[in-house]
Amino acid sequence: MNSVTELPFNRFIGIEPAADPSQVLRLPAGAQYLNHLGTVHASAQLALAEASSGEFLLRELGSVANVVPVVRRLESKFRKPANGTVTSTVSAPQGLEQLHADLATKGRALITVAVELHDESGAHTLSASVEWFITRLADDHRLPA
């Protein structure tokens, strides 16, 4: 897999790669994403935040074979209502060296990825912290393609 945008759920809801290299992913503007107030629904924003943290990990771990990341915890704070297209940025978490070391020695690791969402007006709409549990599969165990 080259991007989390290829996952069926992320395709279904319309998450796309961001055009701006300083951003990770985007959720385009659309009536299907709106809540009862006419702003982007909380669940749509949470899906974008989770996918963005996963995209960061995919890029970081792309060269590491046979690893399976699973979300362990997601914490978020909604800051302002989101309108229109929503884009994400990710902060490189501390502990990337420890992540690689733990995978090599223990076969498992935890890492937390910080994600920020902004709407098309530039409003900061959500801050999230996504904790991932990552385990290395034995060489004889493969995930389905």
pLDDT at 142: 52
3-state SS string for the chain:
CCCHHHCHHHHHHCCEECCCCCCCEEECCCHHHECCCCCECHHHHHHHHHHHHHHHHHHHHCCCCCEEEEEEEEEEEECCCCCCCEEEEEECCCCHHHHHHHHHHCCEEEEEEEEEEEECCCCEEEEEEEEEEEEECCCCCCCCC
- Summarize pLDDT for 61-93 with one digit per residue, the tens: 886 778 999 999 999 999 999 999 999 999 978
- Give the tens place of pLDDT for each residue, 11-59: 999 999 999 999 999 999 999 999 999 999 999 999 999 999 999 999 9
Is the overall model pTM greater than 0.85, yes or no?
yes
- Per-residue pLDDT, averaged over 114-143, amounts to 88
For domain 4-136, the question of CATH label 3.40.190.10 is answered with: no
What is the pLDDT, as a whole number, of residue 27? 98
